[in-house]
Structure 1
Amino acid sequence: MSKVIISCAVTGAIHTPSMSEYLPLTPDEIAEQAIEAAEAGAAILHLHARDPVDGRPSADPAVFRQFVPRIAAATNAVINITTGGSIKMTLEERLAYPLAAGPEMCSLNMGSMNFSIHPAARKIKDWRHDWEKPYVEGMEDLIFRNTFRDIKHILKVLGEERGTRFEFECYDLGHLYNLAHFVDEGLLKPPFFIQSIYGILGGMGPDPENLAIMRTTADRLFGRDNYMFSILGAGRHQMSLLTMGAIMGGNVRVGLEDSLYLGKGRMATSNAEQVRKIRRILEELSLEVATPDEARSMLGLKGPQSVKF
């Protein structure tokens, strides 16, 4: 088995400030938590931006520039910029900073989908900001859009023109077939980094059997030597699914974007806490953790020297 790549998704665009006092919101908080996560063992840092005033998701390149260069200067981690942004952003907004920076890696959701955490609104009585409650409840009637044409455009302007490679976010079995379509069209070449995602309402459930189905389907569509498999378990399913996936030869993703908890009833106080926990689990299983440069080699990345942070 090859070494295991740990990715860390530092803040995301789904959780809101009222859900956890530890969620990084300002550029300083995002930078500090990302750097700490890299020091703990994360080879890849998956980054979103937040409005520094009230913590709402932001696509403003000026906000990204307040923390991404600082992270790049302080760590050797692979910096992975979202192209998903939030469900309320246009494609142009989502791509504004990635197109300017041309990062080594970007995330790429492999289809349009219902994507929601609206039931979480029932659990919160006190909201810190006026935007939060309608944002969370409103997900019930919103669709995250990534059409075939959208995906093709992203592959062209980021992949072909800027040499960026992708974390292909696959929330359902059909997303693997969408990825295979673009391979058949000659728009993608291996190695593919497939992030299989479980436990998001609107996507595939967190059943362990689904992990096995995704793994065997990816083997059939791409051949195991042509892709790197990774696992994202949302919420309370994070560590159990990641452990199972690692045993099956997969890589792992943690971070406060994916889960606000470290264990049952215990909130994570930082992203690094989750990185340290999964690293400890991996090492107890006699699995080695990949360094950033080893991850670059495994994923065929262009290297940080070609990035405009």
Structure 2
Amino acid sequence: MSDASRKVIISCAITGATHVPSMSEHLPITPAQIRDQAIEAAEAGAAIIHLHARDPNDGRPTPSPEIFKAFVPAIAEATDAVINITTGGSTRMTLEERLAYPRLAKPEMCSLNMGSMNFSIHPVAAKIESWRYGWEKDYVEGMEDMIFRNTFKDIRNILLELGDNGTRFEFECYDVGHLYNLAHFVEQGLVKPPFFIQSVFGILGGLGTDPENMVVMRSTADRLFGRENYQFSVLGAGRHQMPLVTMSAILGGNVRVGLEDSVYLSKGVKAETNAQQVRKIRRILEELSFEIATPADARKMLGLKGADKVTL
């Protein structure tokens, strides 16, 4: 049974690398837009801010450290939220490109996809009537023939290199097998509790959005790690965002929202800012008598090194 007296961490993924600007005019793409939306999301109650970068000229995903530097330090200066930098980047980036900024920043947290997989939203292309930029159509349609790569060696190297700087991880698990991949690294001694497991539902190539799948992921993680050793969180893609993350809290977990995961606030209504989604889930959680974790709470719950040990 869920403990309503515990604190729930809200993560907010600001822009990602999957959605394209033609899907929403509100998707932040410039450093200023990413900065402002991240700060507003933190002020609304997000304890963790998950960040990707985009080329400000046309919104395409970029691993450029210079572009990250144009907004990450400003976010850190304006808020005490935990800064979580992607190591996933996009399916078009090499591992070296994906690690370029995390190596420099040595952040408190990085996301880490727990396996290679088919990862696609290519069916969405048929629903877009007008493309804002020339690169977008090929990018979305091309996902049908792309694989996101994170081999066991890739994961091990990320854990060793970034972990040596005290960075901890948002372990993104898109399927049950990813939990077993995580268990492998626990057995190797490369991952120690408390783990932060982000279960992802609704991406083509991973687990679907059936509520039963969440129970499978939760119970499997309990069996592999012991509930006392990890924090569970849920990311629901698209229209499934709010129902699934609410279910996560009820099952004793945490929640992630943001325009990376869904460009909508409700059916047929696009979110104009990330903060709108944060405010909505915060209201739902507080009406269910859950307390929202502050950044200080999140750092304690996840065993983070602290913002003062980061070189953003």
TM-score, normalisation: structure 1: 0.99
1:152-177 alpha-carbon deviations (Å, 9 max, x no partner): 00000001x21000000000000000
1:103 maps to which residue? 107
Q: C-alpha separation between the residues in 1 aligned to 2:275 and 2:52?
A: 17
> How many pairs were matched up?
308
Following TM superposition, by how much is the alpha carbon of 1:252 offset from its aligned partner in structure 2, in angstroms?
Answer: 0.1
Equivalent residue for 2:155? Answer: 151
Answering whether residue 235 of structure 2 is matched by residue 232 of structure 1, we say: yes
- How far the C-alpha of 1:202 sits from its partner, in A, is 0.3
**1:220 maps to amino acid:** R
Instruction: Give 1:298's aligned residue.
Output: 301
Structure 2 distance, partners of 1:211, 1:58, is: 32
Deviations 1:62-92 (A, max 9, x none): 0000000000000000000000000000000
Runs of 4 or more, structure 1, over 3 Å off, are none
Letter paired with 2:92? K
Match in the other structure for 2:19? 15
- 3-state DSSP of counterpart to 1:194: strand
How far apart in 2 are the matches of 1:111 and 1:223? 22
1:125 CA displacement = 1.3
CA distance in 2, matches of 1:125, 1:282: 37
Percent same amino acid among aligned pairs?
A: 74
2:207 to 204, 208, 220: 204
Verify: 1:162 aligned to 2:165, yes or no.
yes
Match of 2:84 in 1: 80
Gaps of 5+ in 2: none
The within-5 A match list for 1:37-76 is 37-76=41-80
Corresponding residue number in structure 2 for 1:270: 273
- Residue 8 of structure 1: CA displacement? 0.1
Partner SS state of residue 45, structure 1 = strand
- Of 71, 86, 93 in structure 1, the residue corresponding to residue 97 of structure 2 is 93
1:122 is aligned to 126
Of the candidates 135, 138, 147, which is equivalent to residue 139 of structure 2?
135
Which whole-Å deviations, capped at 9, do the CAs of 1:169-199 have from their partners, x for residues lacking one?
A: 0000000000000000111110000000000
Unaligned residue ranges in structure 1 (runs of 5+): none
Aligned letter for 1:141?
A: D
Q: Deviations over 1:87-143 (max 9, x none)?
A: 000000000000000000000000000000000000111111110000000000000
2:252 paired residue number: 249
3-state SS, counterpart of residue 162 of structure 1: coil
Task: Tell me, in whole angstroms, the C-alpha distance in 2 between the residues paired with 1:229 and 1:124.
Answer: 34
